[in-house]
Amino acid sequence: MFTWSLAARNLKRRKLRTALTASGIVVGISMMLILLSLVSGMEVQARHMVRALGGADITVSNSTSFRGGVGGGGFFGALPSPSTLDASILDVVGGIPGVYAVSPQFSFSGSINGRRVTVYGVVPSLYEVVTSGLNIVEGRFLAEDSGGEIVLGKALMELLNLTLGQTVSLSVGQEGVERNFTIVGVFETGMLFQEYAAYITLSDAQDITGERGSVTQILVKCEDPSVVSDVASIISSTVPGVRVITPTAVLQQANQMLNTLTMFFATIGLVALFAGSFGVINTMIMSVTERTREIGVLKAIGAKSRDIMKVFLAESFLIGLIGGGVGVAVGSVLAYIFPMLTSGLLSTGFSPFGMRNPFSSGRATQTFMFATPTITPTNIAICFSLGALVGVLAGLYPAWRASRMKPVEALRHV
């Protein structure tokens, strides 16, 4: 107890120096907490995004993800568009053991009232069986075999100031192939970028793009979740020229990317902490030099070398605790402010099939999903512990140096 009280009293005697020393650890800890919280936020949003992509167990698409736009007046102009599959593959995939239902989908880039959006053509009954349908918050979903109907995302409705029952113009390509559609429903996903989309019937999508008999994706629902991997393997080996994707695979890829980011960000934080540790070492060496006579007196009245070492280690440990605690507090605040100041840099780009940003008027850009930081107890514990650990490690050499002093030489020091 005497060791801790003496260490605390020594730090209080030099409050300004203690604060400046701890500030080096504060910077490193706050930076690490900010970066780790951003990665945690990206992980949460990645899981949410995979869940929100639909209830399909498997998505089958062409192994060549994109094809170049048809030059000079093709329907897709110079835009990259998803490669198509022959609709006859539906029967092959549907006949594979373990497949419960399949739903064809044709996705393309279109323009509604001058705003570029992603449009999905689906067969309403099959789409609802495979994916459990959209979350319709107003109106209804598409009727079976009904032409000229469209369902829009809530964010898109608000952006274009549209209302249910209103007629909108959907155009495709540089030649401006255009058709009018009536808004029959509004859906919401909870993910803003997914709500800048529209759904029409598959036949309407094929007609307006001139792609009769083609689809861009086949959504598959399995009889049992436990057979998804087996069914995916059978599809890959049975149907040539296709790419088979499962939500689990997407999540694994996202986790691998996030793990890489975590290691990268943690390295940056550790470098900052390493730099801050030199401040602790410098302060403790100065403290040892200033208190040479005090060390001599303590040894003269019976204090052992290990007691002297404990006092200086306790001081550096307390500096680490102060730096870790303040760093966690500062980092918790900055974690929510920092993304606002660097909105474009700390956002994860998402642009399905290379479509254009709905906010742009013709400029090919990315649709951004902003990473909301998530502060977890684990990240707080890691950062706080690192602050204390850096304090102890930085104080080892000065404490050892103090413990090695000889009482007689220390008392002679002026």
Instruction: Encode pLDDT of 128-149 as tens digits.
Output: 988 888 889 999 999 987 789 9
pLDDT of residue 1: 63
Which band of pLDDT confidence, cut at 50, 70 and 90, is reported for residue 339? low
Look at residues 93, 37, 401 and name the one whose alpha carbon lies nearest to residue 240: 93
Largest CA distance in the chain: 100
The mean pLDDT of the chain is 80
pLDDT tens profile 297-329? 877 888 788 888 888 888 889 998 999 999 999
At position 247, the amino acid (one-letter code) is P
Which band of pLDDT confidence, cut at 50, 70 and 90, is reported for residue 127? very high
Least reliable range by pLDDT among 123-127, 373-377, 386-390 = 373-377
Q: Is the pLDDT of residue 77 over 70?
A: no
pLDDT tens profile 147-184? 899 999 999 999 999 999 999 999 987 666 789 999 99
Q: What is the DSSP track for 110-125? A: EEETTEEEEEEEE-HH
Of the ranges 10-19, 66-75, 365-374, the best mean pLDDT one: 10-19
Ordered by start, the domain boundaries in the chain are 2-49+252-412, 58-245
pLDDT tens profile 258-270? 778 778 877 887 8
Q: Percent helix, strand and coil across the chain, each rounded to 5?
A: 55, 20, 25
Instruction: Calculate what percentage of the chain has a pLDDT beyond 70.
Output: 80
Using alpha carbons, list the distances in angstroms from residue 364 to 14, 109, 329.
59, 11, 41
Q: Is the pTM of this model over 0.95?
A: no
pLDDT of residue 202: 94
Look at residues 122, 85, 94 and name the one whose alpha carbon lies nearest to residue 107: 122
* Residue 201 burial class via C-beta count within 10 angstroms: exposed 0-12, middle 13-18, buried 19 and up: buried
pLDDT of residue 350: 39
Instruction: Calculate what percentage of the chain has a pLDDT beyond 90.
Output: 25
Q: Is the dihedral of CA 221, 222, 225, 228 positive or negative?
A: negative
385 three-state secondary structure: helix
374-378 average pLDDT score: 86
Of the ranges 80-84, 123-127, 360-364, the best mean pLDDT one: 123-127
CA–CA gap between residue 410 and residue 405 (Å, rounded): 7
